[in-house]
Structure formats: C-alpha cells, structure tokens
Chain A
Amino acid sequence: QVTLKESGPGILQPSQTLSLTCTFSGFSLSTYGMGVGWIRQPSGKGLEWLANIWWDDDKYYNPSLKNRLTISKDTSNNQAFLKITNVDTADTATYYCARPAYGLLDYWGQGVMVTVSS
C-alpha cells in the first residue's frame, strides 16, 4: 500500500526558507522508475506542479519559481524534501507530495497548509 505524508512549518515569515518533508511508504526511491513530486494549491485555486525527483537523482523544476526550489531525497529513510527560498505571501498554499508514474500522479499525500505572513 502506497502512502505519502507531508510535513512543514505551518507558518513562516516573508523572506524565510520553506522546508517541506514528504515521508512515504509502499515504494522505494532506489527502485528504477520511482519518483516523488511536489504540487501546491492556494486556497480555492488550481494546482501548480513544482518539482520532481527520480530514483536516479534526476530533478526537474518549474522554471516559474526562478531557481528558488531545491528538491532532494533520503532513500534510506523513504523521504523527499523541498526547499523554497525567499518566500512571500504568494507562496501561501497547501503543498502536496505525490508519486509520479509515467507523468501521472497516482498517489497523493493529504497535503500540508503553509501560510506566509509577517
């Protein structure tokens, strides 16, 4: 059974760095073809894909966030991470991690709400 769960700070101030953790089970990031992706959704709005990391450490980012993103993984502990630097109020959203399989996202976490406020 595949499960994913996000964790994060809840609230942070503008200009700080947002650090998110995705803890998963039911698959391994050391297995060929496996990956973890991050997607966010401001309240009442649509979905925005942020980044994917793959079993071979290949990484893909959404260029709209202009080099503010860093995705990484800890294969031994079944975790993936996302950092977003220099946050502002526009980064307030629910952040999801999900498993990308041939592009589609077949399993999603429950999401973690992040608020950026001074």
Chain B
Amino acid sequence: DIQMTQSPASLSASLGETVSIECLASEGISNDLAWYQQKSGKSPQLLIYAASRLQDGVPSRFSGSGSGTRYSLKISGMQPEDEADYFCQQSYKYPNTFGAGTKLELK
C-alpha cells in the first residue's frame, strides 16, 4: 500500500495568516492527489484534485502544489470558516489511502 504521511498533525493560525500542510507519499503518485476539508460533525468536502486543481466553488485562497512524492496545500489568508480537519488522499493505486489528517485551528 502507498503510505501518505501528513504533517503537521495540528496547527494554529491567526486571522489572515498563510498556512501550509504537507503530504509525503511512500512512492510516486503522479499528481493523483486530492485534498479534503472536514468541518466538525460534517462529511469531508473536496477542495483540490489532481494535486493543484481547485474544485468548483472553493475559495481561491486554497491552492495545491507538488509532484512525485511531495504535495502541499496552502491557505493564503486564514479565515474563521477554514477551521477544520484537512486530509490528503492518493488515488494512484488501490487501495486508495488517506493521510492521517491535520487539525487547523484559529488562534
């Protein structure tokens, strides 16, 4: 199985601060990488797919980058509604695997 190592496990950001979350795959995944946001008590929602493509309706302050084994999610200007858990997921090979998640809180 492809292991997805996500970091950090948690972080706290001030309003307007730029934050980054990273995922490291145990082998190359050819940009088959998605990012999801999960707010408390809700189901996950797709933010980014194909490593860098923004899902329709997602604010442009969210962006994704990376290649090979290293990928990142950036939030340019933390907003109160961004407080949530974030997960990466590889779909390059079965079984599809998720990162362990990052808990983002507003400072």
Chain A residues in contact with chain B, CB under 8 A?
46-49, 52, 60-64, 96, 100, 102-106, 108-111
Contacts and interface: CB of A to CB of B under 8 A. Distances in A.
A49 B96 contact: yes
Given A104-B46, A108-B44, A111-B43, A64 B32 contact: no
A107 to B, nearest CB: 8
Nearest to B91: A103
B62 interface: no
Interface string B29-55: 000101010000001111001100001
Contacts, number: 57
A82 B87 CA distance: 23
Given A46-B101, A49-B97, A106 B46 contact: yes
A46 B95 contact: no
B33 to A, nearest CB: 9
Interface of B: 1, 32, 34, 36, 43-46, 49-50, 55, 87, 89, 91-92, 94-101
A103 B91 CA distance: 5
Contacts of B100: 46
Nearest to B32: A103
B91 A102 contact: yes
A109 B43 contact: yes
